[in-house]
Amino acid sequence: MNPDGEARTQEFLERLDGGHLVEADDWMPDAYRAELVRLIRLHAVSEIMGTLPEKEWVPRAPTLYRKLALMAKVQDEAGHGQLLIRVAEDLMAPRGENREHIMEDLFAGRQKFHNVFHLPVPTWADAGLIGWLVDGAAIITQGMLLGGSYAPYTRALRRIVEEEAFHIQHGESICMALAEGTAGQRAMFQEALTRWWPALMMFFGPPEDGAALSHQAATLRFRIRSKTNEELRQRYLSKYVPRIRSLGFIIPDPTLQQDPDTKAWTYQQPDWQQWRAIIANHGPRSAARLNLRRTSYAEGQWVRDVMAATRKAV
């Protein structure tokens, strides 16, 4: 970087420290743009891939009401993907890139998505658990990002977080019905919880143990995020462990406990090797879901061609 650029970056950082927000066509350091693109693409693609595990349960949702609500919820996820991918596209425009590049990267294995969306959803309780405990995790991350320095992202997040309030209650409502239901329904939820707990502990990423990873250090410095993975996970445990236990369910971690004085949770570390493998598309449903997306994307190309032809004709 030339000295001019360095001075400009320094000035940019000072403005961020002063609470200044950045807009899409403001000047920004390349590293700031790169961190935003990385983060927002990951978020967008996770929303888009996140429609697939839950949509499997739309037809099978037990009642007409649940079918409607789940459809609305998955629709919102697609909508969140849409809001976010537009923010990403504006940031990628100077490089001549758009959502097509994101999809190509996804299909080529260069674009990751969240670990939870690589997993199977074998029962209705799993679908409910995603709404309650996975969306519950997501809203903690998103709530933290709301105060970030890139204004277009925070505007999209504000809409998203508003809608997530419905998602969590929708998930809670499904899980509550199972908790208050028959022995079979309760067992179904307990099994889902046992199945999902390690993935939920993985959701926020590995603990920093005092040494923030490079991307985190950068996003913290750029005031894109304000909390570490571990801080978010601690908050999550404080919110959800008492609720899960109050319904009489057992969290499959005998070591899980909260220090009465510091309020800090200790917990069994999930297998972080496995986490790396999952997000590298080696999860149990990674290949199938990518295939689903790849096939539908390829077979819908002619429709996007129609849209492009229409635009030229106007």
Partner 1 sequence: MATEASQARAGEPVLGAYEVFAQTSERGAMEWQASLLAGSPAMALMLARENFLRRREIFDLWVVPREAIARAGGADEWFRLPKTYREVSDYQYLVGKWRQYHQQAMTPDTMA
Partner 2 sequence: MEADRYHRALAELLMQLADDDLVVATRAGEWLGLAPHLEEDVAFSSIAQDEMGHAATYFGLLAAVQGGDRDDLAHLRPAMARRNSVMLERPNGPGTYREAPHFDWAYALARHFLYDMLERVRLDRVVQSAHRPLADAAAKIRREERYHTQHHAMWLRDIARSGPQYAGRLQLALDRAAADAADLASAGPMAVEMEALGLLPDASHLADDWRAHVVLALDPLGWSLPPLGGALNGRHGEHTQDLTRMLRDLGEVYRSSPGASW
CA dist 151 and 249 (Å) reads: 41
CA dist 302 and 292 (Å) reads 17
Task: CB nearer to partner 2: give 14 or 305.
Answer: 305
Give the angle 191-192-195 at the CA atoms, nearest 5°. 85
Q: Smallest distance from the beta carbon of 21 to partner 1, in angstroms? A: 5
Q: Are strands 265-266 and 257-258 parallel, antiparallel or unpaired?
A: antiparallel
Whether residue 164 contacts residue 135, with contact meaning beta carbons closer than 8 Å, is answered with yes
Choose the one of partner 2, partner 1, none that binds residue 169, judging by a C-beta under 5 to 8 angstroms depending on kind. partner 1
* 172 lines the binding site for partner 1 (CB under 8 A): yes
Question: What residues contact 312, with CB distance under 8 A and at least 6 apart?
Answer: none
Interaction partner, residue 81 (partner 1, partner 2, none; CB < 5-8 Å by kind): partner 2
Token pair of 195, please? 């199945």
202-241 binders of partner 1 (CB under 8 A): none
CB of 117 to partner 1, least distance (A): 22
Question: 63: Cβ–Cβ under 8 A, 6 or more apart, which residues?
Answer: none
Identify residue 232 by its one-letter amino acid code.
Answer: L
Q: Which two tokens stand for residue 26?
A: 């403001």
Residues that bind partner 2 in the complex, under the rule CB under 8 A = 48, 51-52, 55-56, 58-68, 71-72, 74-75, 78-79, 81-82, 85, 99, 124, 174, 177, 180-182, 184-185, 288, 291-293, 295-297, 299-307, 309-310, 313
The correct pick among 86, 120, 123, 166 for binding partner 1 (CB under 8 A) is 166
Binding status of residue 250 toward partner 1 by CB under 8 A: no
Shortest Å, Cβ 5 to partner 1 = 26
Q: How far is the CB of 92 from partner 2 (least distance, A)?
A: 15
Structure tokens at 214: 């490079």
Rule CB under 8 A: say whether 251 interacts with partner 1: no
